[in-house]
Amino acid sequence: MDSKILLIIFGMGLVTYIPRMIPLVILSKFDMPPLFLKWLKYIPVAVLSALLLPGILITEQGFSMGLNNKSFLASLPCFFVAAKTRNLFITVLVGIVSMFILQRIL
């Protein structure tokens, strides 16, 4: 492999790694307030909601929470299974089966 390509790959890795490393190194020297740590626990839920909800609730016709929205209907059993089992595999399986059945019915 050409040394120029290896240098580019190394540079891209460095440019990706440094912005992730700097906050960890700096913030690891400080004790975080309990309120801030409690706030940080909500970030994964907020990010997951921001990623999933538009795909579930927005259709070609616009915002829809009705019986004609297959994604919304398929997500309902997923929410209940996820809350009950806390098992990602079972939740995804229920979602796939729910969507398959709804596509065949509707």
- Going from N- to C-terminal start, the domains of the chain cover 31-105
Buried b (16+ CB within 10 A) or exposed e, 2-29: eeeeeeeeeeeeeeeeeeeeeeeeeeee
Read off the pLDDT of residues 56-95 as tens digits, 9 standing for 90 and up: 999 888 888 888 889 999 999 999 999 999 999 999 999 9
| The model's pTM | 0.62
Read off the pLDDT of residues 9-41 as tens digits, 9 standing for 90 and up: 999 999 999 999 999 899 888 898 999 999 999
**Residue that the structure tokens 């919304």 belong to:** 72
Question: CA-to-CA distance for 99 and 91, rounded, in angstroms?
Answer: 12
DSSP line for 48-64: HHHHHHHHHHEETTEE-
